[in-house]
């Protein structure tokens, strides 16, 4: 075998023995004559061994393009989620404000129709109830067997809403009473000169107002 053949065979044994073993055997059978079969460049180590390529594939990280794609997807998801959350809070506080206004109207209408005082008592946090002139919580007109107690926390349609502030002046009371004429009182004795219930859901607020004398009820942002 010529020196040239020996060098090629040695390179093959070192760099890619599994790839070129057959060619080595055939080259030896020729005894280094002119019929020696040359090895391909890819077989004799001019390209990295397959084992090295596999090992490198495990060590590679994310490309810049992949990272940018992930960031874009996260940004899109955030842009979708935030308005949905804001929209849910807006819907809840609108519903809660309408409910409070309707319950105040109901207490006023009960006072006029029954010819006796009815009060709406607001508690700190998320609750309020309607009671008669004897201080008893009245029955709910729709939910049979239940008292007229409203709890935002217990209603998943309103659980984001909180009663942020309640002031019925001149007594700074949290109770408003309607007499048999429908006129509002702060607490149970003094005629109302201003009244407001402020509701909050996240950053959104709405205020339910009760006018003196007439007991007119309105909602503002």
Q: What are phi and psi of 77, to 5 degrees?
A: -60, -40
Looking at the fold, whether 53 and 100 belong to one and the same domain comes out as no
- Rounded to an integer, the average pLDDT of 73-83 is 56
Looking at the fold, whether 101 and 208 belong to one and the same domain comes out as yes
Integer angstrom CA distances of residue 206 from 7, 32, 200, 209, 216: 89, 97, 7, 10, 17
* Domain of residue 47, residue span: 3-59
Looking at the fold, whether 24 and 107 belong to one and the same domain comes out as no
User: Quick one: pLDDT at residue 124?
Assistant: 75
Instruction: Kindly indicate the confidence band of residue 205, based on its pLDDT and cuts at 50, 70 and 90.
Output: very high
Number of neighbouring beta carbons within 10 Å of residue 152? 24
Looking at the fold, whether 46 and 97 belong to one and the same domain comes out as no
Instruction: Kindly indicate the confidence band of residue 78, based on its pLDDT and cuts at 50, 70 and 90.
Output: low
Looking at the fold, whether 206 and 102 belong to one and the same domain comes out as yes
CATH code of 210's domain: 3.55.40.10
Instruction: Kindly indicate the confidence band of residue 68, based on its pLDDT and cuts at 50, 70 and 90.
Output: confident
Q: Environment class of residue 90 by beta-carbon count within 10 Å: exposed (0-12), middle (13-18) or buried (19+)?
A: middle
* Domain presence at residue 193: yes
Integer angstrom CA distances of residue 87 from 144, 154, 199: 32, 20, 16
- Rounded to an integer, the average pLDDT of 32-56 is 51
Lowest mean pLDDT among 21-35, 43-57, 74-88, 170-184: 21-35
**Helix, strand, coil fractions of the chain, as percent rounded to 5:** 45, 25, 35
Q: What is the mean pLDDT of the chain?
A: 78
Q: Are the C-beta atoms of 154 and 127 separated by less than 8 Å?
A: no
Percent of the chain residues topping a pLDDT of 70: 65
Lowest mean pLDDT among 51-65, 103-117, 130-144, 193-207: 51-65
The CA R_g of the chain, rounded to the nearest whole Å, is 42
Instruction: Kindly indicate the confidence band of residue 74, based on its pLDDT and cuts at 50, 70 and 90.
Output: confident
Does the pTM surpass 0.85? The reply is no
Q: Is the pLDDT of residue 199 over 90?
A: yes
Buried b (16+ CB within 10 A) or exposed e, 196-216: ebbbbbeebbbbbebebeebe
Looking at the fold, whether 109 and 198 belong to one and the same domain comes out as yes
* Domain presence at residue 111: yes
Q: Which of residues 42, 59, 76 is at a domain's end?
A: 59
Number of domains making up the chain: 2
Percent of the chain residues topping a pLDDT of 90: 51
Number of neighbouring beta carbons within 10 Å of residue 120? 26
d(CA 178, CA 187): 10
Looking at the fold, whether 216 and 130 belong to one and the same domain comes out as yes
């Amino acid at each position: 075998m010529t020196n040239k053949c020996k060098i090629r065979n040695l390179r093959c044994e070192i760099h890619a023995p599994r790839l070129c073993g057959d060619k080595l055997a055939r080259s030896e059978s020729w005894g280094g004559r002119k019929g020696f079969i040359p090895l391909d460049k890819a077989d004799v180590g001019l390209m990295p061994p397959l084992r090295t390529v596999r090992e490198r594939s495990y060590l590679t990280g994310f490309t810049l393009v992949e990272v940018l794609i992930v960031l874009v997807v996260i940004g899109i998801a955030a842009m979708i989620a935030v308005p949905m959350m804001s929209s849910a809070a807006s819907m809840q506080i609108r519903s809660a404000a309408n409910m409070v206004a309707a319950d105040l109207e109901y207490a006023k209408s009960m006072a006029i129709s029954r010819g006796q005082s009815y009060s709406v008592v607001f508690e700190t946090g998320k609750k309020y109830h309607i009671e008669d002139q004897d201080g008893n919580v009245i029955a709910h007109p729709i939910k049979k067997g239940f008292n007229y107690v409203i709890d935002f926390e217990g209603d998943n349609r309103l659980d984001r809403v909180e009663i942020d502030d309640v002031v019925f002046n001149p007594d700074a009371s949290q109770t408003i009473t309607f007499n048999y004429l429908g006129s509002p009182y702060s607490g149970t004795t003094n005629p109302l000169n201003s009244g407001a219930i402020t509701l909050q859901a996240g950053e959104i607020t709405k205020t339910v107002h009760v006018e003196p004398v007439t007991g007119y009820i309105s909602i503002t942002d």
